[in-house]
Amino acid sequence: MIKRFIVALVLLTLVCGGIVGFNMFRAQMIANFFANMPQQTVTVSTMTVEPVRWEPGIDAVGTVFARQGVDVASRSSGVIEEIRFKANDKVEAGAILVRIERRVEEAELIAARANVVRDQQGLDRARALASRGVNSTATLEEAQAQLDSSRSSLERLEAELEQKDIVAPFAGTVGIARVDIGQYITPGTVIATLQDLERMKVNFTVPEQQLPNLSIGQQVAFGLTQDALPYVGQITGIDPKIDPASRLISVQAEVDNSDGKLRPGQFINVRIQLPAEDNIVALPQTAVVTSLYGSYVYVVQEEEPKPQAEAAPAAGGTAQAQAPAEGEAAKPKLVARQVFVEVGRRNANQIEVTKGVTSGAQVVTAGQNRLSSGSPVVVDNTIDPSKIEQQGANVAGGPS
């Protein structure tokens, strides 16, 4: 009985020992495999850092307004007799847009003119009699007052008749008619909008920190897309007060609209060009990675491979590991090193680097999301991401 117990105990010990030994062996082999596994090579795009000409600017968004624009309204009441314009007609200053029925006023005007003639004749007679000493001064003054009253009534009727014609206050493009023939209108009824589209105003805001960089007459570029700014204008007004809630200052500029593509109320991109600066280190914004620890880039460097030692003989003493051929030069490999940088201003798709990289460094511009410091890399610049972005911008914005 004791012998059987001892045999069972020995067998159990052997089985448990074998299981433990196998697991230890497997863990050691897995660790050796991952320790000796070659690091994956990452394909990246790079650029060589060179000083560039920096053209800073202030970017903003604005709203387009006509230099002159009003909603033309009636100053008199009555029934519309005639509409003399069509939508989008270009009219001159003083052109009649709408005529209101005026027959009653014209009849009263005839009587008012007759009254003026009559009172003028009465005044002439009173003067003649007064010169001969027959008429009194009081009669002469009464005749003068009667003539003045008649002239006042005549001018009032002429003004009322003039208001029956709704005219364009300035030259421009008239909009869609908001009234119809036969409609009774009252003073203040809007007839149509009139906009001078030859030259436009653009209102926009910039941060208060940029106020020292603004001046009257400064050149401004405008465009309907951010990457195409074909319109050029000048700053015509800077608000003397800064909004205390938003800390923004209002700016107004004028721009020529000879092609007629800008319309009042339209959204527009604005760029105020500032003086250019030379010898500035700048990188594409895609090359700079921002993290909690700061901004950094990956710089590609050459690294000499470590010499490979000859392997020890195997158990039989006959097998040896392969060694490099005699006289074979060690080939350098490229690795990516993480370099922290200090960044400054941004301009379009570029960012200024004030510290961290110098001229001549090879910086990764695409593929850095798969990198860690020391990763082996292969450079492939057949596709330039910055050029792809520029081509996409040209397709979206059209030729500038």
Q: What is the pLDDT of residues 332-384, one digit of tens each?
A: 688 888 889 988 888 778 888 888 888 888 888 888 788 888 888 888 888 66
User: Which residues lie closer than 8 Å to 100 by C-beta, 6 or more apart?
Assistant: 74, 76, 77, 78, 79, 80, 81, 164, 165, 166, 185
pLDDT of residue 238: 94
Q: How far apart are CA 314 and CA 270, in angstroms?
A: 75
Residue 61's Cβ-side half-sphere holds a number of Cα atoms within 13 Å equal to 7
pLDDT of residue 34: 63
Q: Please provide the DSSP assignment of 200-263 as one string.
A: EEEEEEEEGGGGGG--TT-EEEEESBTTB--EEEEEEEEEEEE-TTT-EEEEEEEEE-TT----
343-354 tens-digit pLDDT: 888 877 888 888
Which among 142, 21, 48, 86 has a CA at the least distance from the CA of 362? 48
Confidence grade of residue 228 (pLDDT, cut at 50, 70, 90): confident
Asked whether the beta carbons of 39 and 375 are under 8 A apart, the reply is: yes
Q: Any idea which residue has 């003639």 for tokens? A: 117
Q: What structural domains and CATH numbers belong to the chain?
A: 38-54+278-306+330-400 (2.40.420.20), 57-67+198-274 (2.40.30.170), 69-100+164-195 (2.40.50.100), 102-162 (1.10.287)
pLDDT(157) > 90: no
Q: Whole-prediction pTM value?
A: 0.60
Q: How far apart are CA 164 and CA 102, in angstroms?
A: 7
- Token pair in block for residue 31: 């660790």
Which among 209, 355, 347 has a CA at the least distance from the CA of 277? 347
* Helix pair angle (137-163, 103-131), 10° resolution: 160
Which among 78, 77, 67 has a CA at the least distance from the CA of 194? 67
pLDDT of residue 33: 67
Asked whether the beta carbons of 323 and 384 are under 8 A apart, the reply is: no
Q: How far apart are CA 324 and CA 330, in angstroms?
A: 9
Q: Specify the amino acid at residue 128.
A: A
297-308 tens-digit pLDDT: 998 888 755 555
pLDDT(316) > 70: no
Q: How far apart are CA 371 and CA 303, in angstroms?
A: 16
pLDDT of residue 120: 86
From 18-22, 207-211, 340-344, the region with the lowest mean pLDDT: 18-22
pLDDT of residue 178: 93
Q: 303-311 contacts: CB < 8 A, separation 24 or more? A: 303/332, 303/333, 303/334, 303/335, 304/330, 304/332, 305/330, 305/331, 305/332, 305/333
Classify residue 187 by its DSSP letter.
T
Reduced to 3 states (helix: H, G, I; strand: E, B; else coil), residue 370 is helix
Q: How far apart are CA 254 and CA 270, in angstroms?
A: 12
pLDDT of residue 128: 79
Distance, first Cα to last Cα, the chain: 102
- Exposed/middle/buried for residue 282 (C-beta within 10 Å: 0-12, 13-18, 19+): buried
**In this structure, what are the phi and psi dihedrals at residue 260, rounded to the nearest 5 degrees?**
75, 15
Asked whether the beta carbons of 371 and 377 are under 8 A apart, the reply is: yes
User: Which residues lie closer than 8 Å to 257 by C-beta, 6 or more apart?
Assistant: 197, 198, 199, 200, 231
